[in-house]
Structure 1
Amino acid sequence: MFQGRNFLKEIDFTKEELNYLVDFSIHLKDLKKRGIPHQYLKGQNIALLFEKTSTRTRAAFTVAANDLGAAPEFLGSNDIQLGKKESVEDTAKVLGSMFDGIEFRGFSQEMVEDLGKYAGVPVWNGLTDAWHPTQMIADFMTLKEEFGELKGKKLVYLGDGRNNVANSLLITGAILGVNITISTPESLFPEQELVDMAKKYAEESGSVIEITTETAEAVKDADALYTDVWVSMGEEDKFEERVNLLKPYQINKELTNHIEGDWILLHCLPAFHDTETLYGKDILERFGIGEMEVTDEVFRGPQARQFQQAENRMHSIKAIMAVTNGNLFIPKV
């Protein structure tokens, strides 16, 4: 059912399959915590292709591969000729002949789709400009750990509504029956085609999809607030525009006071919540702000689950790699 398949975007999988991945991730986390070996990929070699830099994705794939008994090999943008001196097709065929699985983190969704088409081994999307599917399994895993179920829970995303994280949350939530609200300026609304797709999935799952410019009303009955950086990698020239546009969408104490009931904070990281980085100091100097998408008070508050969420990247990536390349017996789901 899963064996030999690529993991390139959420819409390639059913609600039952995505739920299985969430549950299997929780199971593998339990095995890891109890020190029980689970080397489903013993003897395999895994290629990690990175056009975009990363902390969590690289660390998660590396540790996951090692835990599964596989040997990971990192190939950065200076190590590969992908689409430069060698076509994606040719590169995919070469790497597929040497490695048992390939991870790709970069800009183009078309590139990862082509890798999946020609490699002959499972290809996993670590992030593209369009989708962030491995992040989603970790995110909804965290939500399930906290609340015990997914269906009917409400997740509110505040910030840039057109980036890969917002896209993936919208679609994955709709598939799984999670109510998704995207709170963003009208100029940053998700593409209508994507919203229509989400609403179609929502009709089947019972999910409620909302795209709004409101903030206080949007978060009132939220179970989770989610945010991301205001400026995605490759869009640095839009920094001043985004800062001015998204200030009203900052997650701060004033906003969270509108929430009735228990809730958690999610963030795929890195987060710009203080000035303890060179980046943060530069933003303070240029724009006079020391906190961006989330305030330090909320980031360090009792509802914060972003570091649990970050750890879950490794457990969920391990689950994805194991089911697609581990020859596991999985009854039809």
Structure 2
Amino acid sequence: MIKSKDVLTLDEVDKKELVQILDLAIKLKKDLKKGISKPLLKNKTLAMIFQKPSTRTRISFEAGMFQLGGHALNLSSQELQLSRGETVEDTAKTISRYADVIMARVYEHSTVEALAKNSKVPVINGLSNSFHPCQILADLMTIKEKKGKLKGLKLAWIGDGNNVCNSMIYGCAKAEISISIATPKGFEPSPKVIQNCKKLIDIELTQDPQKAVLNSDVVVTDTFVSIHDDPKRLKKFYPKYQVNSSLMAKANESAIFMHCLPAKRGQEVTASVIDGSQSVVWDEAENRLHSQKALLASLSI
């Protein structure tokens, strides 16, 4: 069980709990392949609040609750009284009287913090502008599957020091994976996150992607532009921070490539990499299902 009521950044999960979640996720995946699905959350309800569009988050949580014997409610913010001025605080107090756990995919991280503060039940951050802990659980699960271990590996993050990167730093710190982060100037990850983790693992910040990927076991990137194309922003990243075959060649020969998706081929990554032999993005996407099932089962629901 996780000691923390909520999972908003991934910092709430300690090293031992992380290992337990990942081991359970791998077991649940194997069981599902064998046709075994235990009703660990029988008669439990997950309320899913979406301010932002979603493919992987919605489907994986909804399918996961079904497979665990529970039920998921898909709640667009436009369908809730939030759209008519009800406060986040009042929404949290109300929904937590009906559901056993809340997952929210929001814009501002302060929104999910307010939900957690006012909810009687656990709150999971399904993505905010600052953190994406569920993605990192899937990423670490995938790395463990492919590499057989976590501790002692090196991960290279190329591109934007965004919400996924922030949670990745926390995840690497708990898993004892060193991380090298290459971003344009002004696009570095949260200084607070770096400060919290730099005593636990080696963290390198650089503006040189080629330096970052040297001796790396895992190469990770994300979209340069999340929602709308911004030519001014794109110019800061492309083509220097694009993960292409030339850049991957500077990583370890056995290095794997990861991307949380959706991807824009020809921008942050070339088709030759994301569709190539080193790419594990589809396993990574599938593992959202299994790692989130493990997370749900590990909460005090």
Distance 2:81 2:187 in 1: 34
Counterpart-to-counterpart distance in 1, 2:224 and 2:260: 12
Q: SS of 1:124's equivalent?
A: strand
Letter in 2 for 1:129: N
Report the CA distance between 1:325 and its aligned residue: 4.2
Q: 1:258 aligns with which of 250, 259, 264?
A: 250
2:13 is equivalent to residue 13 of structure 1? yes
Structure 2 residue 234 is matched with structure 1 residue 243: yes
Aligned runs of 1:111-190 on 2, under 5 Å? 111-161=111-161, 163-190=162-189
CA distance in 2, matches of 1:183, 1:17: 29
CA offset at residue 37 of structure 1? Answer: 1.9
Structure 2: tracts of 5 or more residues without a match:
none
2:295 is the alignment partner of 1:320: yes
Measure the CA separation in 2 of the matches of 1:139 and 1:87: 34
How far apart, in 2, do the equivalents of 1:190 and 1:296 lie? Answer: 26
Q: Is 1:211 the equivalent of 2:208?
A: no
The answer on whether the counterparts of 1:125 and 1:133 sit within 8 Å (CA) in structure 2 is yes
Which of 261, 264, 286 is the aligned partner of 1:269?
Answer: 261
Q: Give the Cα–Cα distance (whole angstroms) in 2 for the partners of residues 85 and 193 of structure 1.
A: 32
1:307 to 272, 282, 286: 282
Deviation string 1:277-308 (CA, Å, 9 cap, x unpaired) is xxxxxxxxxxxxxx100001111100010010
Secondary structure of the residue aligned to 1:242 is: helix
Match among 272, 284, 289 for residue 297 of structure 1: 272
2:216 alignment counterpart: 222
Distance 2:160 2:44 in 1: 39
Q: Distance in 2 between matches of 1:40 and 1:67?
A: 9
Larger Rg: 1
Please, what TM-score do these two structures have when normalized by structure 2? Answer: 0.95
SS at match of 1:47: strand
Query: Does the residue aligned with 2:82 lie in a helix, a strand or coil?
Result: coil
Q: For the structure 1 residues 190 and 2, does the alpha-carbon distance in structure 2 shift closer, same or farther, using more than 3 Å as the test?
A: closer
Q: Which runs of 5+ in 1 are unaligned?
A: 274-290, 327-333
Secondary structure of the corresponding residue to residue 126 of structure 1? strand
Per-residue CA distance 1:183-242 (angstroms, 9 max, x = gap): 111221223222212203x2xxxx211010112222121111101000124xx37x1122
For residues 24 and 90 of structure 1, do their structure 2 counterparts lie closer, same or farther at Cα, with a shift above 3 Å needed? same
Task: Report the count of equivalent residues.
Answer: 300
What is the rounded CA distance, in whole Å, between the counterparts of 1:72 and 1:3 in structure 2?
A: 23
Instruction: Output the amino acid matched with 2:254.
Output: D
TM-score, normalised relative to structure 1: 0.86
In the alignment, is residue 94 of structure 1 matched against residue 85 of structure 2?
no
Give 1:81 shift. 2.8
Cα separation, partners in 2 of 1:187 and 1:4, compared to 1, 3 Å: closer
Change in Cα spacing, 1:84 to 1:128, as seen in structure 2 (3 Å) is farther
Partner of 1:41: 41
Kindly state the Cα deviation for residue 264 of structure 1 after the two structures are TM-superposed.
0.5
Query: Given that residues 77 and 83 in structure 2 are in contact (C-alpha distance below 8 angstroms), is that contact kept between their aligned partners in structure 1?
Result: no
How many angstroms apart in 2 are the aligned matches of 1:4 and 1:40?
19
Deviation at 1:258, TM superposition (A): 1.6
Residue pair 1:251, 1:295 contacting (<8 A) in 2 also: yes
Structure 1: distance between partners of 2:3 and 2:177: 27
Q: Deviations along 1:121-156, whole A, 9 cap, x unmatched?
A: 111110111110111110000000011110011111
> CA–CA distance in 2 between the matches of 1:28 and 1:82?
35
Q: Within 1, Cα distance between the matches of 2:153 and 2:4? A: 32
**AA partner of residue 113 (structure 1):** E
- Indicate if the aligned counterparts of 1:155 and 1:180 stay in contact, CA closer than 8 A: yes
| CA drift at 1:87 | 1.2
Task: Name segments (4+ residues, structure 1) moved above 6 Å.
Answer: none
Deviations 1:243-273 (CA, angstroms, capped at 9, x unpaired): 2111101000111122233110100000011
Amino acid at match of 1:142: T
Whether 2:166 is the aligned partner of 1:191: answer no
Structure-2 separation of matches of 1:46 and 1:192: 33
- Which 10-residue stretch deviates more, 117-126 or 82-91? 82-91
